Structure 1
Amino acid sequence: MAKQSSVKSRRKIVTPVFHLQTKDEDDSQLSKAMIKIVRRTGQLNLSGRSLANVPEKMFTMYDLTPEDTATYIDFDKKPDEENWWHFKSLTYLDLSSNVLQEIPGKIGMFEDLTVLNLQDNNILSLPHEIGNLTKLTKLNLSHNKINALPMEFYNLSELQVLSLAHNQLGKLSKRFGDLVMLQQLDLSHNVLTKLPPGLGFLVRLTEINLSHNKLVDLPPDIVNLRGLLKLDVTHNDLVCLPSLGELTKLQFLYAQHNNIEEIPDFEGSTHVQQIYFGNNYIKEVTPEFCENMPNLKILDLRDNKIEALPNEIAMLQHMIRLDLTNNDLTDLPNSLGLLPHLQNLQLDGNKLKKIRADIIKAGTCRLLKHLKEKFDGEELENIQKVSNVAIYEPKTFPDRYTMKHSRALNLTIKQLTSVPDSVFEEAKLAEVTMIDLCKNKLQTVPGGLNLLVDNLSELNLSMNMLTEIPEFISSCANLKYFDLGNNCLSALPDSLVDLIGLRELILSSNRFISIPECVYGMVGLEILLASDNKITEINVDGLKNLKRIATLDLTNNNISQIPPELGNVTQIRSLELKGNCFRQPRYAILEQGTASILSYLRDRIPK
C-alpha cells in the first residue's frame, strides 16, 4: 500500500509540458535589445514564442523615458549620423505560430504597417481598429478560428496579398470588392457556400484559391478577372463552371473533387497550360474544347464518366500528360498517336476492348506508336482536315518573326540530324525561352544552344539518339522544364547539379542504371520521371535532399527491393513503382495509391 501511495504522490507533482504563459511572461519576450532593433529597422518578429497575449510592451516600445533620452543623446555625434529621434515606425510585424486568441484594438496605432502576419494562432475575431492599418499590403490570417470579418476590415484598400485560409468563414460582405489592389487571395479551407458579387471588381487578381469550401456555384462576374493566372476550386460542391473564355490570361485551373458534369467553354483562354478535372462527373470531351486549347500541357480527367475521345484530340499538340484513369473508355482514337509531346498517358480502370492488354502495359510510347500505325492514308487526310493538324511538316526552320511572337523554337518531327548555328542566332534575337527538338535524329546536342543559356526556361530533347549531354547546359540558370526522354543516355554531367531552379526532369526510356547523382542537388525539383530504364536501386538519402519532390515515376525498371525508409519521404504525392521485380510491396498495395505505399513502407522500418 505504501508503494502505491508514493506513486500517487509522484503523479501529483508532475507539471504539464505546455501551459499558457502569463501576461508578464509574454511581456518578457520583448526585450530591450529587441526594442532597440525595432526602433532602428521598423521590423518586429515574435513568431513561435508561445504568446497567449500580445505583449503590452509592444504598444509602448516607442515611448521614450528619461533614461532612453540620456542613452541616445550624444553631443559629440557627427552631423551626418542618425539622431535618436529618427526612429523608423513599425512596418513589419510577425506574431505567427503562437496561441493568441485575441488581437487588441491598440493594433490600430501602427498605421504604417505594410506586412502583418497572424497565421497559426487561435484568433476568434478581429478588432474594429484593424481598419486603421490602411497601408497594409500583405496580411496573413490563415490557420485561425475567424468566422466573420468586421466591416472596417474592408478599409484595407492597399492589400495586395491576403490569406484567410483554414478559418471558419461562412460569409463575406459584398464590400469585399473594395479590396481592389488584391493580387493574391487565399480563401481555402473555410465553409463558404457562396462568394460575394463584388468579387469581379478585383481585376488585379492573378491567383485565387477557393478550395475546400462548400461552394455550389461561382458568381458570373468572376469572368471579369482578366489578369487571373491561377484558379483553384478543388473540393467544393460545384455542378458547373461559368464560361471561362474571358479569362484570357488563365494558365492553371484546378477543379478536382466537385460535381461538375460538363467541361466549360474555354474559347479565348488560349494560354491555359494545365487543367485538373479529376473526380467529377464529366461524360464528354468535346471537339470545341480541343480546338480552344493550343497550349495545354497537362489534362487530368481521372475518375469521371468519359466514354470516348474525339478525333480532335490531335489538336492538343503540346500535351505532355493525359490522365484518363477510371473512366468508361472502351477504345481510343487513332489520332491520339499524333500528339508529339505526350509522355505520360494513364488509362488504368478503363475497359479498353479493342487494344491488346500487352500494348497498354508496354507504356505510353508503345501505345502511341500502335495507334499511329493503324492509320491508313485516307484516315490521315481526314484527321488533318478535321483537326487542322499538320501531319507531315516540311523541313524548314521558323523565321525570327514567328519565334518572336511565340518566344519558342519548335523543330519537332523534322528528321533533323543537326541544327545550324544560324537558327539559334535568330532565336537569340527573338528572345526565345522555349526550345523543342523532340522526335528528330540528333546524336549530339546542337552547339548553337549555348547562345540561349541565359533565357532558356524549357528544353525538350526527347525522342532523339543522344548519348551524352554537354556541360554548357548547366549554365541554363532559368531552366524549369528539361525533357531527355527516349534517348540513349546512361549518364549526366556532374555540373548539372547547378540547375537548382529546375522543376521537372524527364529521364524516361534511356539506359540509366541509377538516377544520376547530380539530380539530387537540383533542390527545386518537383517532378522526376525516370520510367523504362535499367535502374536497380532507390537512393533514399538522395531523394530526401529534394524537399519539393512531389512526383516520382520509376515504372518499368530493374528495382529488386524498395527500401522501407522511402516511406519517410513524405513530400512525394505521386509515386509509381509498377513494372519492377520486387516482391514487396505487393501489387494490391501499389493499386491503393501513393499514401498507402508510403504508409506500408514506414510500417516496415526497423524500430
Structure 2
Amino acid sequence: QLRHLDLGNNHFVGKIPASLDNQLIGSIPSSIFELVNLTFVSLSFNNFSGSVELYDFAKLKNLKYLILSNISLSVSTKLTVNSSFPNLWALGLSACNISEFPDILKTQHQLDWLDLSENQIRGRIPSWMWDIGVHTLFRLDLSRNFLTSIDHLPWKNLEFLTLDSNLLQGSLPNLPPHMTYAKGCNLTYLRLSGNHLEGPLPPSLSNCVNLQVLDVGNNNLSGPIPECLGNSTRLSFLDVRNNNLSGPIPECLGNSTSLSFLDVGNNSLSGPIPEYLGNSTLEVLDMRMNKFSGSLPQTFGKSCVLVSLKLNGNRLEGPLPPSLVNCRHLEVIDVGNNQINETFPHWLDVLPELQVLTLRSNRFCGPIGDTKTRVPFPKLRIIDLSYNQFTGVLPIWYLNGFKAMMRRDDNSIEVNYMRSLNYSYYESISLTMKGNDIQMERILTTFATIDLSSNRFQGEISEVLGKLNSLKSLNISHNNLTGGIPSSLRNLTELESLDLSSNKLAGRIPTQLASLNYLSVLNLSNNQLEGPIPGGPQFNTFGIDSYSGNVGLCGFPLSKICRIDEAPEPTTPTGFIEGDDASSWFDWKLAMLGYASGVVIGLSIGYMAFVTGRPQWFVRMIERQQSRKLRRVIRRGRAGRRSLLVHL
C-alpha cells in the first residue's frame, strides 16, 4: 500500500493520470547497463518492443533483484563464453517467451525468489535445478508452462510452490522428510491444479501445519480427502474440484477455523453435508455435482459471511433453512437438480446482494403469490425456477420489483464478471439458454435471465414483463398460460431468446416484436395463435419449428398463405410502453373523450337545425354550400359524357 509519493522537481506536463501503471514503449536503453552500482532493477508490466539479452545485465556486478516479467519482449537467456552473472536474490522472467531454463540459474545458489511462469518451457525439470537455492529458495513459480514431470522437492525452506497449468503426470510429488516433519514444514502455498496428476492426496500433507492454500483441482486424483488435513488449522483455501475423489467430507476440516474457500465440485463425494459448514468462516462453498444426501445445514449463524453457495446436482432433500437470511452477503444461491420439497422461499427476498437464484429441477410446489417486502430481491438478475411444480398466476409483484433487470439510461453500471473479491474465482452457472443446456463459465454483471418453464403456472402473461428491458433470455414455456402475447415485450430490446411454447396462448403475434433486433431464438410452438406472422430482419430468420402446432398462423415461413382480409396487426402499441406515465395516459384519454363528445354534440345540433329550421343563418349557409356542390357535380357529369363520346 502506497505510503509516500513524491513527484516534485520534474518537468511533467498535463494532468496526473488516474492510474500510475506504466505503459513504456520502445527498447530498453543501453545506458541502464552502465549503472554499475544498481542493486534493484524492475521493468515489469510495460510495452517494450524487440528483445533483450540477459547477459547485458551481467555488467551490473552489484545486482540482487532483476524483475523483467511481462515486458512484452523476448528475453534471450544464453550467456557468452566465460561470462559470469551476479548472485541474485530474486529473478522474475514471467511471460518472457523463454523456451528453456536459463543457463544463469546454474550459478545461482542464493536465490530466494524465482518466477518463470507463463513461458514455453517444455519437458522435465532438469536435475541441475535441484541445486538452486537449496537452503534459501522460499518462492518458486513455474506455472503455465509445458512441464511434464518433477522428480522431487529438495528446497528446505520452500513456502510457495506454484506448478499449476502444466502437463505434469503421475502421482503428486512426494514431500521430502524435511517438509513432512511437523515443526520443520514451512510450506504455506501449494498449487498443482490443471495437470494430469493421478492417485490419492498424500497423507504427508497433514504435517504441513502452516499450509494455508492447497489447490489440486482439475486433475485425475482419486481416493478420499485425508482426515488429517484438519491438522492444517490455518488452511484458508482448499480447491479439489474436477477430480475423482470419493467418500465424505472429513469432520476434521471443522478444525480449520480460517477456511474461507472450499470447492469440492465435480467429484464423487457422498454422505451428508457437515453441519459445521453452516457456522464457519466460509465465503465460497461449492459442492456441485457430487452425491451428497440428506438435508442442508440448518443453522447459519448471524456471523455468516457466505457470498456463494452452490449445491447443484446432488441428492439433497428437505427444505431450505430459513437461517440463510443471516447470510446478508450472499450473491449466488444454486440448489438446482436436487430433491428439495417445499414452497417458494419468500424469506430469501430480503437478501440485499443476491444476484443469482437457481431452484430448478426440484420439488418446489404451490403458488408463489405476493410478498410483504417493499423491494424484493433488489439485485436479482438471474432466476431459474424451471422444472418444479409451482402453480397459480405468474408472480407479478416480484416481476414488477426486479429493479436490477430494468436498464437505466445513465450507463453507470460497470460491465465485469462476477467473481470473489479475494480469489481468482469466477462465478459460473448451469442454465438453459436459446434452447440448449449450457455451462456459463463466467457471468457478466449485466446478464439477466428469467426461466419459469415446465411448471403449472396459469393465467395471462403480464404486461409488466415489458419493464424488464435488460433481459437476455425469457423462458416461460410448458405451462398453462392463456390470453395473448403482450405487445409490451417489444421493450425487451436486449432480448436474444424468447420461449413461450407449449402453453394455451391465443390471438395474434404482436407486430411490435419485429423490432427486437437481437432476438436470435424464438419458440412460439404448440399454442393457439392465429393470423399472419410478422415480418422483419429477425423474424425472417426463424424457421417453421418456431411456429409449429399453431394451426391458425399463416405467412412466411409456413406454407399456409394468409387471406387478404387477414391484415397485419396495427403497429400502435396497446400495452405498457417504456417511458409512458400516468400523465400522458390521462391526456390521451381526455383527448379521445373530447373528440367523441364533440362528434355527438355536433350531430345533435345539425339534426335540430334541419328539423326546426333554426337558426335561419345556419340553415341558409348549409343550403348554399350544398347548392354549389350540386352544380359542380352536374358540370363534371356533362364534361365526362362529352369526353366519352369523343373516344367512341
Matched, 1:235 2:218: yes
CA drift at 1:248: 0.9
Task: Write out aligned runs for 1:146-157 (5 A).
Answer: 146=121, 147-154=123-130, 155-157=132-134
Q: Relative to 1, partners in 2 of residues 1:320 and 1:40: Cα closer, same or farther, differing over 3 Å?
A: closer
In the alignment, what sits opposite 2:63? 89
In the alignment, what sits opposite 1:273? 260
Checking the alignment, whether the CA contact within 8 Å between 1:38 and 1:90 is kept in structure 2 is no
CA drift at 1:215: 1.8
In the alignment, what sits opposite 2:191? 209
Tell me the distance in 1 between the aligned counterparts of 2:117 and 2:314. Answer: 40
In the alignment, what sits opposite 1:355? 342
More strand by share: 2
Residues 428-449 of structure 1 deviation map (CA, whole Å, 9 limit, x = unaligned): xxxxxxxxxxxxxxxxxxxxxx
Matched, 1:534 2:509: no
Matched, 1:587 2:474: yes
Which residue identity does 1:534 align to in structure 2?
A: K
Aligned partner (choices 18, 36, 41) of residue 43 of structure 1: 41
Checking the alignment, whether the CA contact within 8 Å between 2:415 and 2:444 is kept in structure 1 is no
CA drift at 1:164: 0.7
In the alignment, what sits opposite 2:269? 282
Residues 19-40 of structure 1 deviation map (CA, whole Å, 9 limit, x = unaligned): xxxxxxxxx9453422244644
Task: Write out aligned runs for 1:372-383 (5 A).
Answer: none
Q: Relative to 1, partners in 2 of residues 1:341 and 1:93: Cα closer, same or farther, differing over 3 Å?
A: closer
Tell me the distance in 1 between the aligned counterparts of 2:337 and 2:163. Answer: 36
In the alignment, what sits opposite 1:121? 96
Aligned partner (choices 195, 206, 210) of residue 223 of structure 1: 206
Checking the alignment, whether the CA contact within 8 Å between 2:168 and 2:197 is kept in structure 1 is yes
In the alignment, what sits opposite 1:577? 448
Which residue identity does 1:255 align to in structure 2?
A: V
Q: Relative to 1, partners in 2 of residues 1:347 and 1:88: Cα closer, same or farther, differing over 3 Å?
A: closer
Which residue identity does 2:140 align to in structure 1?
A: L
Matched, 1:139 2:10: no
CA drift at 1:214: 1.3
For structure 2, the 5+ residue unaligned runs are: 1-25, 180-184, 358-371, 381-399, 428-440, 451-464, 477-493, 498-515, 520-648
In the alignment, what sits opposite 2:73? 98
Which residue identity does 1:302 align to in structure 2?
A: R
Which residue identity does 1:195 align to in structure 2?
A: L
Tell me the distance in 1 between the aligned counterparts of 2:237 and 2:42. Answer: 36
Aligned partner (choices 172, 178, 190) of residue 166 of structure 2: 190
TM-score, scaled to structure 2: 0.48
Instruction: From the CA coordinates, give the structure whose radius of gyration is larger.
Output: 2
Q: Relative to 1, partners in 2 of residues 1:195 and 1:114: Cα closer, same or farther, differing over 3 Å?
A: same
Matched, 1:323 2:309: yes
Checking the alignment, whether the CA contact within 8 Å between 2:248 and 2:272 is kept in structure 1 is yes
Q: Relative to 1, partners in 2 of residues 1:51 and 1:159: Cα closer, same or farther, differing over 3 Å?
A: farther
Checking the alignment, whether the CA contact within 8 Å between 1:129 and 1:152 is kept in structure 2 is no
For structure 1, the 5+ residue unaligned runs are: 1-27, 63-86, 369-485, 490-507, 513-530, 554-569, 590-596
Checking the alignment, whether the CA contact within 8 Å between 1:228 and 1:247 is kept in structure 2 is yes
Residues 57-103 of structure 1 deviation map (CA, whole Å, 9 limit, x = unaligned): 443x35xxxxxxxxxxxxxxxxxxxxxxxx74353241644334754
Tell me the distance in 2 between the aligned counterparts of 1:100 and 1:299. Answer: 42
Q: Relative to 1, partners in 2 of residues 1:29 and 1:224: Cα closer, same or farther, differing over 3 Å?
A: same
Checking the alignment, whether the CA contact within 8 Å between 1:311 and 1:336 is kept in structure 2 is no
Matched, 1:34 2:21: no
Residues 281-321 of structure 1 deviation map (CA, whole Å, 9 limit, x = unaligned): 23333447649x64334311123333322656557963624
Checking the alignment, whether the CA contact within 8 Å between 1:285 and 1:306 is kept in structure 2 is yes
Checking the alignment, whether the CA contact within 8 Å between 2:325 and 2:350 is kept in structure 1 is no
Residues 487-541 of structure 1 deviation map (CA, whole Å, 9 limit, x = unaligned): 999xxxxxxxxxxxxxxxxxx85699xxxxxxxxxxxxxxxxxx97635435796
Tell me the distance in 1 between the aligned counterparts of 2:448 and 2:237. Answer: 28
CA drift at 1:249: 0.3
Matched, 1:170 2:152: no
Residues 408-440 of structure 1 deviation map (CA, whole Å, 9 limit, x = unaligned): xxxxxxxxxxxxxxxxxxxxxxxxxxxxxxxxx
Which residue identity does 2:220 align to in structure 1?
A: D
In the alignment, what sits opposite 1:496? none
Task: Write out aligned runs for 1:139-538 (5 A).
Answer: 139-146=114-121, 147-154=123-130, 155-157=132-134, 158-174=136-152, 176=153, 178-193=154-169, 194-198=171-175, 201-202=178-179, 203-216=185-198, 217-239=200-222, 240-243=224-227, 244-265=229-250, 266-287=253-274, 290=277, 294-309=280-295, 318=304, 320-321=306-307, 323-329=309-315, 331-333=317-319, 335=321, 337=323, 340-341=326-327, 343=330, 346-352=333-339, 354-357=341-344, 359=346, 534-535=403-404, 536-537=406-407
**What SS class does the counterpart of residue 74 from structure 2 fall into?**
coil
CA drift at 1:348: 4.8
More helix by share: 1
In the alignment, what sits opposite 1:449? none
In the alignment, what sits opposite 2:590? none
Deviates more, 1:155-164 or 1:325-334: 325-334
TM-score, scaled to structure 1: 0.51
Residues 183-233 of structure 1 deviation map (CA, whole Å, 9 limit, x = unaligned): 322111011232321267452232222111112233221222211222212
Which residue identity does 1:242 align to in structure 2?
A: P
CA drift at 1:45: 3.2
Q: Relative to 1, partners in 2 of residues 1:111 and 1:186: Cα closer, same or farther, differing over 3 Å?
A: same
Which residue identity does 1:258 align to in structure 2?
A: N
Checking the alignment, whether the CA contact within 8 Å between 1:108 and 1:131 is kept in structure 2 is no
Tell me the distance in 2 between the aligned counterparts of 1:602 and 1:241. Answer: 51
Tell me the distance in 1 between the aligned counterparts of 2:79 and 2:64. Answer: 16
**What SS class does the counterpart of residue 175 from structure 2 fall into?**
helix
Q: Relative to 1, partners in 2 of residues 1:269 and 1:351: Cα closer, same or farther, differing over 3 Å?
A: closer
Tell me the distance in 2 between the aligned counterparts of 1:603 and 1:347. Answer: 28
